């Protein structure tokens, strides 16, 4: 996939179709104007945001806190093109705002989505950084 002056071969670990990848790489490319260095920086910041926010979400005791953390996850995910996580966070948020108690299975689904996303980011960062010579 072309990334400005950097060509990233998605290869092993990133072979899922665009519809099943944790991040829509075309969306990320548009958001970062194809700049590989900017993509790497955005991915690093997003990875940190996801890790911190999910930890806070798990530790939240109040509904308002949970909803706030879900909104952060959703907004951040939408920004970089992590649409599966964004949809899951939005569904969970909607359930909670309509009075449905949080389903432990939904938290497990969120955790799995976060883990898959972070693993995908790690592989993608490795490939981008290798191409950039970082």
Give one DSSP letter per residue of the chain, joined into a string. Answer: -EETTEE----TT--S-TTTSSS-HHHHHHHTTT-HHHHHHHHHHHHHHHHHHHHHHHH--SHHHHHHHHHHHHHHHHHHT-HHHHHHHHHHHHHHHTTPPPPHHHHHHHHHHHHHHHHHHHHHHHHHHHHHT-
Which structural domain, as residue segments, surrounds residue 68?
A: 2-132
pLDDT, position 17 = 53
Task: Report the domain count for the chain.
Answer: 1
Average pLDDT, the chain: 87
pLDDT, position 1 = 34
pLDDT tens figures, 73-117: 999 999 999 999 999 999 999 999 998 888 889 889 999 999 999
pLDDT, position 13 = 47
Question: What pLDDT band is residue 30 in, cutting at 50, 70 and 90?
Answer: very high
Q: Give the CATH number for residue 114.
A: 1.20.120
């Amino acid at each position: 996939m072309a990334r400005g002056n950097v060509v990233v071969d998605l290869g092993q670990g990133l072979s899922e179709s665009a519809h099943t990848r944790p991040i829509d790489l075309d969306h990320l490319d548009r958001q970062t104007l194809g700049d590989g260095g900017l993509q790497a920086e955005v991915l690093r910041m997003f990875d940190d945001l996801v890790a911190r926010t999910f930890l806070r979400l798990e530790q939240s005791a109040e509904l308002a806190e949970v909803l706030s953390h879900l909104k952060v996850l959703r907004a951040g995910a939408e920004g970089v093109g992590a649409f599966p996580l964004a949809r899951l966070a939005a569904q969970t948020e909607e359930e909670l705002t309509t009075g449905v108690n949080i389903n432990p299975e939904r938290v497990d689904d969120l955790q799995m989505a976060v883990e898959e996303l972070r693993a995908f980011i790690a592989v993608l960062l490795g490939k981008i950084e290798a191409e950039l010579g970082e």
